[in-house]
């Protein structure tokens, strides 16, 4: 039996319920967790309230797992799923064309999976994808940006079978005076480092979305 210990940060003690939660999250409706206790504690707190890192034991036996950071996938596969699910304002012209191109050419079949593992795109990290779609950030710059802050991967339960495969574990209190400060500091450093990446985003050797569209680049292109 293969078990995975995961954590969900929340202001509340949470019992996961299938088909609850926001539809417009990164990978659609699901239960979003991390394998890292300390990160869950950071995400659990707000400026005004403590939170909880809810622990669960996930039995992976018989579950289909889509791991978007495996070598057969590239960052545009992840981005295509994000663009299909997240809701945001996008300008007409190149940005809108870029969104349509990425979804059409790079969207993997992901809806039949029980579990999805991949990057987490909170609000600051989602801004990096906007810059890429707007042709302001290269593909390499996007890859580097997603490593900032060391958010790791999120583990998302998608199917009824996945929800039926978890058991509740311990509950860990997260003190806002410690963990909200850590969250803010992690985000601040990531934003500062991103400024450096963005400032050096004009390399002629890197691919931008305009190059990808004009070149008709698809999923099997070695430049990705």
Best CA proximity match to 54, nearest among 4, 5, 11, 14: 14
Coil, strand, or helix at residue 168?
strand
Best CA proximity match to 199, nearest among 131, 133, 134, 143: 131
pTM of the complete model: 0.90
* C-alpha–C-alpha distance, residues 5 and 58, integer Å: 6
Is residue 59 situated within a structural domain?
A: yes
Is residue 91 situated within a structural domain?
A: yes
Is residue 164 situated within a structural domain?
A: yes
Is residue 207 situated within a structural domain?
A: yes
What is the number of structural domains in the chain?
1
Residue 127 has what pLDDT? 79
Is residue 23 situated within a structural domain?
A: yes
Residue 153 has what pLDDT? 80
The rounded average pLDDT for each run of 10 residues, N- to C-terminus, in the chain (224 residues) is 91 94 89 94 94 97 94 93 82 85 96 93 74 89 78 89 97 96 88 79 78 94 86
| Residue 70 CB neighbour total at 10 angstroms | 11
Residue 38 has what pLDDT? 94
Alpha helices (H) along the chain: 37-44, 75-85, 94-106, 123-133, 139-146, 160-163, 176-199, 209-214
User: Which range marks the domain in which residue 75 is found?
Assistant: 3-214
Is residue 222 situated within a structural domain?
A: no
Is residue 173 situated within a structural domain?
A: yes
Residue 189 has what pLDDT? 85
Residue 149 has what pLDDT? 60
DSSP string of 197-210?
A: HHHT---TTS--HH
Instruction: Give the containing element (helix H, strand E) for 31.
Output: strand 31-34
């Amino acid at each position: 039996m293969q078990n995975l210990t995961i954590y969900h940060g929340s202001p509340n003690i949470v019992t996961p319920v299938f088909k609850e939660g926001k539809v417009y999250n990164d990978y659609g409706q699901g239960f979003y967790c991390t394998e890292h206790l300390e990160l869950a504690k950071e995400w659990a707190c707000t400026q005004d309230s403590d939170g909880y890192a809810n622990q669960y034991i996930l039995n992976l036996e018989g579950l289909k797992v889509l791991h978007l950071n495996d070598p057969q996938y590239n960052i545009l596969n992840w981005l295509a799923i994000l663009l299909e699910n997240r809701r945001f304002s996008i300008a007409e012209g190149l940005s809108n064309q870029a969104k349509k191109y990425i979804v059409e050419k790079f969207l993997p079949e992901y809806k039949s999976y029980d579990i999805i593992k991949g990057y987490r795109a909170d609000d600051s990290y989602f801004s990096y994808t906007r810059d890429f779609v707007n042709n302001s950030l290269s593909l390499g710059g996007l890859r580097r940006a997603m490593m900032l802050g060391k958010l790791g991967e999120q583990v998302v339960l998608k199917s009824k079978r996945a929800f039926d495969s978890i058991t509740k574990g311990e509950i860990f209190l997260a003190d806002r005076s410690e963990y909200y400060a850590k969250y803010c500091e992690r985000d601040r450093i990531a934003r500062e480092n991103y400024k450096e990446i963005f400032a050096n985003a004009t390399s002629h050797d890197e691919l931008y979305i305009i190059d990808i569209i004009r070149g008709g680049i698809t999923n099997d292109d070695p430049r990705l």
